[in-house]
Amino acid sequence: MSDTSRFHRVRPPAKSRIVGPARLPDGATTTAYQAVQPHVCGQCGAAITPDALFSRRTMRRPRASAIGLTQLPVCIACRPLQVEGDVGGMDGTGSSGEEEHHDG
């Protein structure tokens, strides 16, 4: 037992950071992200530049090899975001159970 460094998990630098809850034009809520590194919109292919806001969309992979679901960034041109302030915006109706996971 001399070197444990290869077992030490180094977190990769974040490619995006969570801004907070946001509302979509159709009234649905989602999570707004801010790009730290460039992304590509999974819907229109446009570049999402650093500091730009975007949302993520859970999509089913064509071939469900291992996990089956993946999340693609979607630019605000495809899905305009209205970022909500973090001050008491509770409706009381609760969420529809659509939970988004973020994996870095």
Strands (E), 39-78: 39-40, 47-48, 53-60, 69-75
53 forms part of the interface with Zn ion (CB under 5 A) = no
Verify binding: residue 35, Zn ion, rule CB under 5 A. Answer: no
Give residues 57-96 in contact with Zn ion (rule: CB under 5 A). Answer: 75, 77-78
Who's near 84: CB < 8 A, 6+ residues apart?
A: 20, 21, 22, 23, 29
- DSSP β-ladder status, 69-75 and 53-60: antiparallel
The distance of closest approach from Cβ of residue 8 to Zn ion in the complex, given in angstroms and rounded to an integer, is 38
Instruction: Among 24, 44, 47, 69, indicate the residue that binds Zn ion (CB under 5 A).
Output: 44
Task: Report the residue number, 44 or 59, with the smaller CB distance to Zn ion.
Answer: 44
Q: Assess 43 for contact with Zn ion (CB under 5 A).
A: yes
- The token pair at 84 is 């909500």
Closer of 36 and 40 to Zn ion (Cβ): 40
* Rg of the Cα atoms in the chain: 17
Q: Where does this chain bind Zn ion (CB under 5 A)?
A: 41, 43-44, 46, 75, 77-78
